[in-house]
Amino acid sequence: MVTTMDQRTLEAVIYERDPPIARIILNRVDKANTKDSVLVREVDACLHEADRDGAIKVVILKANGNGFCGGHVASWGPDEDPYPEFGTTFEELYKGTADLFLWPTLYLWEFPKPTISQIHGYCVGGGIYLGLLTDFCVASEDAYFQMPLAQSLGEPGGHTMIEPWLLMNWHRTMDWLLLAPTLSAQQALEWGLLNKVVPKEDLEDTVEEMARTIAQIPLTTLMAVKSNVKRAWELMGMRVHLQVSHILTNLVGAASDVQARRSELKDSGLKPRDFVARGDHDTDVSQAE
């Protein structure tokens, strides 16, 4: 079978159709690949295309630039609007955040074919919903992970609380969410968040080989295996829990103590990650970007 690679550069991502592999490459390097509305919608659209494409068996999610994904856009200038869906009222925000940060996240999670994330550098905040929700996660040694939102924005997370399901460990979940530790690739591997950690120069080859190995299996089999694994987590309640956590995130965003924390963050001019580290001399954090 002769196949040709088709590469399309969209506004925030690059889509590579290279049957049986499709690659979605986050490509907004000047903005740390943050998940603005455009990036979220383009990733979602590429996933839909890969799903409907009978020649695609595996999707790789990776990134150009210094890191994988910097998370949600936490602050923006008066002339910018990274999230037009958020509207102006509380109820528009509720719907808009569902459209951007609930449904596309659930779609990636239950995407019918195997997915692999290829992570280097930062994978923080909302970035973990792209980096850690895939079926396979491979990171280079320089990768690091953090969820700074409770400490900085006062939000329980980024609209879908995947942590209880990812970590499957109550104490680690609380530690991760409330103490906002920066996990190195090696620590993330120890916590069971990753399949492999490899030297940076080996990252691409490792993931590509993994994808080719997976793609030797019939598509029907791949989809059946994935479906069965997903149904187990759904039976445990994960899908309902992610939807409920979106309600809580919106609720919390309207509380006065949370809004006060958000103003504090804004006034500090710091990024959420740096806000968490203010006055903190933890070496893990100071070494990170």
Partner 1 sequence: MDLRETRERIIYEKEGAIARVTLNWPEKANAQDQKMAEEIDAALLDADRDYDIKVLVLEANGKGFCSGHAIGNNARDYPTFAEASSHMGTPWKGQTDLFVKPVLNLWEFSKPTIAAVHGYCVGGGTHYGLITDIVIAADDAYFQYPPLQGFGMPSGECSIEPWVFMNWRRAAYYLYLAEVIDAQKALAVGLVNEVVPRSDLHARVDSIAHHIAQAPLTTLMATKANLKRAWELMGMRVHWQSSNDLVALASMSSDVQALIRQVLEGNIKPAEMARRQASAADALDS
The reply to whether 257 sits near partner 1 by the rule CB under 8 A is: yes
Contact letters for partner 1, residues 125-164 (x by CB under 8 A): ----------------------------------------
By CB under 8 A, name the one of 224, 229, 236, 251 that touches partner 1: 251
Cα first-last separation, the chain: 45
236 touching partner 1, by CB under 8 A: no
Strand partners, 116: 60, 136
d(CA 113, CA 163): 22
> Which residue, 3 or 89, has its beta carbon nearer to partner 1?
89
Instruction: Candidates 7, 89, 221, 263: give the one binding partner 1 (CB under 8 A).
Output: 89
> Among residues 15 and 94, whose Cβ is nearest to partner 1?
94
The minimum distance between CB 41 and partner 1, in angstroms, equals: 25
| Inter-CA distances, 190 with 107, 187, 263, Å | 27, 5, 36
Among 174, 247, 266, 282, binds partner 1 (CB under 8 A): 247
Residue 94 binds to partner 1 (criterion: CB under 8 A): yes
| 93 or 225: CB nearest partner 1 | 93
Strands of the sheet with 21-26, listed across from one edge = 6-9, 13-18, 21-26, 58-63, 115-119, 136-140, 196-198
Residues 230, 25: Cα–Cα separation, whole Å: 24
Contact pick of 174, 229, 236, 255 for partner 1 (by CB under 8 A):
255
Task: Name the residue among 121, 150, 149, 145 with its Cα closest to residue 133.
Answer: 145
Q: Which is nearer to partner 1, 259 or 287 (CB)?
A: 259
Is 250 a binder of partner 1 (CB under 8 A)? yes
Instruction: Provide the sign of the torsion angle of the four alpha carbons 208, 214, 216, 220, taken in this order.
Output: negative
Selection from 64, 208, 226, 216 nearest residue 133 by Cα = 226
Q: Is the dihedral of CA 31, 33, 39, 45 positive or negative?
A: positive
Q: Which stretch binds partner 1 (CB under 8 A): 96-104, 211-219, 222-230, 249-257?
A: 249-257
Q: Is there binding between residue 237 and partner 1 (CB under 8 A)?
A: yes
Q: Which is nearer to partner 1, 121 or 164 (CB)?
A: 164
Alpha-carbon distance 37 to 51, whole Å? 21
Which residues of the chain form contacts with partner 1 (CB under 8 A)? 89-91, 94, 237, 240, 244, 247-248, 250-251, 254-259
